[in-house]
């Protein structure tokens, strides 16, 4: 029987030596698809849409509510909270460097940023609009958006769900955090990492973490293809399974209905991971040191001592990059009236 891809990744985690680690710096520009080239005007429009709570059923929740670009790109909550205080079962992943993900969402159900941007606005526990048509209808009632969409996309009726998603995705592709201490180190600045961080970098490779968390975004992918998924926990039976309810969510199985994908999740980026606690798909672990220990045990079958966990955590802290300034725009108004929510 041919081994599954998930099995191969698990075996690599145990066998891949440190010298095989391919340390790559993060690019400063994300590639854009041919059908959605990045322009300054489109990015500016996308930023407004990303920040506008009027895209939600109650006028209270924006994309930024769960993916705060003034912080780590998430909401630092165990699970995201949408309209009327509703919560889902998964933690909001960071939007920073999401342009380098080959797939979006924890279960990889969206292939592109454009596709992903259409999901939350109509998700019942997120922004709660009844349909994308309702979102479009609301946007068309805002004069400023009529003008901006026409300038960016042209056409007789430029406000469409596809164009909304394209604008948001274009903005998200600018959310890149290069030039971290790690990036400077791999480019030749050997003083960019402390001695502890360098020890942690070596231990990160020696333990086998690089088998999944590889590439410039430490997510096992280079921005193309089908993404990298891993069963979690891959080595079941530890006390962590019950303590943190790790085996409750069926993960990618909900998308594919394939048994091999049961409890499989997209390998998340480790960029800026020091800023995005709590950790894992269910936000169950509240400290980076503990997350490192959990990963070592449940994915690699290894018990890490406190010293090793702290060294690896110190290295992960060196993945915090430079955040581009976010100048908050004025949102287009509805002069003399408002929406009835």
Domain at 277, CATH number:
1.10.760.10
11 lies in the same domain as 66: no
118 lies in the same domain as 186: no
246 in a domain, yes or no?
A: yes
In degrees and rounded to multiples of 5, residue 266 shows phi and psi of -65, 135
Reference 250, options 93, 101, 89, 81; nearest CA is 89
DSSP H or E stretch at residue 13: helix 5-15
156 lies in the same domain as 251: no
3 state DSSP class of 102: coil
325 in a domain, yes or no?
A: no
58 lies in the same domain as 19: no
Tokens matching residue 256: 């594919």
Domain total in the chain:
2
Identify the pLDDT of residue 140.
97
201 lies in the same domain as 135: no
Measured distance CA(18)–CA(312) in Å, rounded: 14
280 in a domain, yes or no?
A: yes
96 in a domain, yes or no?
A: yes
Measured distance CA(205)–CA(19) in Å, rounded: 8
188 lies in the same domain as 309: yes
Q: pLDDT tens, 172-204?
A: 999 999 999 999 999 999 999 999 999 999 999
Identify the pLDDT of residue 21.
74
54 lies in the same domain as 21: no
Catalytic residue flag (residue 126): yes
| Cβ atoms 84, 136 nearer than 8 A | no
Is 256 exposed, middle or buried, given 0-12, 13-18 or 19+ CB atoms closer than 10 A?
Answer: middle
338 in a domain, yes or no?
A: no
166 lies in the same domain as 226: no
85 lies in the same domain as 214: no
213 lies in the same domain as 259: yes
Identify the pLDDT of residue 17.
36
> Which one of the listed residues 114, 126, 148, 290 is annotated catalytic?
126
DSSP H or E stretch at residue 231: strand 229-231
19 lies in the same domain as 64: no
Going from the C-alpha of 102 to that of each of 45, 166, 201, the distances in angstroms are 24, 17, 25
The full DSSP string for 294-324 is HHHHHHH-----HHHHHHHHHHHHTT--PPP
Measured distance CA(127)–CA(145) in Å, rounded: 19
Identify the pLDDT of residue 8.
37
| Cβ atoms 274, 319 nearer than 8 A | yes
Instruction: Quote the distance between the C-alpha of residue 315 and its chain's center.
Output: 20
What angle separates helix 40-51 from helix 143-153, to the nearest 10 degrees?
150
Measured distance CA(277)–CA(273) in Å, rounded: 7
Measured distance CA(39)–CA(171) in Å, rounded: 9
Identify the pLDDT of residue 227.
78
Report the chain's terminal Cα–Cα distance, integer Å: 57
| Cβ atoms 247, 240 nearer than 8 A | no
Using 50 as the pLDDT threshold, list the residues of the chain that sit under it: 1-20
| Cβ atoms 80, 126 nearer than 8 A | yes
Domain end residue (candidates: 172, 191, 226): 172
18 in a domain, yes or no?
A: yes
Prediction pTM value: 0.93
Question: The domain containing residue 215 runs over which residues?
Answer: 5-28+178-317
136 lies in the same domain as 150: yes
| Cβ atoms 256, 6 nearer than 8 A | no
């Amino acid at each position: 029987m041919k081994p599954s891809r998930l099995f191969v990744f698990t075996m690599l985690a145990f066998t891949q030596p440190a010298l095989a680690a391919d340390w790559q710096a993060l690019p400063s520009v994300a590639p854009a698809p041919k059908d959605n080239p990045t322009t300054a005007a489109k990015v500016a429009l996308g930023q407004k849409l990303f920040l506008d709570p009027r895209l939600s059923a109650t006028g209270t929740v924006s994309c930024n509510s769960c993916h705060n670009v003034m912080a780590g790109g998430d909401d630092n909550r165990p699970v995201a909270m949408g309209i009327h205080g509703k919560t889902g079962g998964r933690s909001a992943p960071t939007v920073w460097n999401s342009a380098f993900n080959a797939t979006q969402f924890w279960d990889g159900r969206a292939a592109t940023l454009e596709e992903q941007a259409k999901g939350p606005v109509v998700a019942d526990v997120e922004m709660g609009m009844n349909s994308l048509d309702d979102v479009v209808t609301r946007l068309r009632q805002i004069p400023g958006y009529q003008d901006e969409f026409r300038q960016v996309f042209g056409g007789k009726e430029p406000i469409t769900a596809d164009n909304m998603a394209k604008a948001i995705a274009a903005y998200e592709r600018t959310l890149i955090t290069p030039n971290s201490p790690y990036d400077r180190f791999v480019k030749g600045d050997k003083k960019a990492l402390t001695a502890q961080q360098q020890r942690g970098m070596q231990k990160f490779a020696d333990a086998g973490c690089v088998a999944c968390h590889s590439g410039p975004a430490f997510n096992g992918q280079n921005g193309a293809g089908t993404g990298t998924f891993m069963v979690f926990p891959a080595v079941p039976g530890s006390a962590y399974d019950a303590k943190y309810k790790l085996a409750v969510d069926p993960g990618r199985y909900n998308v594919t209905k394939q048994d091999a994908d049961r409890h499989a999740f997209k390998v998340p980026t480790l960029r800026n991971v020091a800023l995005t606690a709590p950790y894992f798909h269910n936000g169950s672990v509240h400290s980076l040191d503990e997350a490192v220990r959990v990963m070592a045990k449940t994915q690699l079958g290894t018990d890490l001592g406190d010293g090793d966990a702290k060294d690896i955590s110190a290295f992960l802290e060196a993945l915090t990059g430079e955040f581009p300034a976010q100048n908050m725009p004025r949102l287009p108004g509805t002069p003399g009236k408002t929406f009835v929510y």
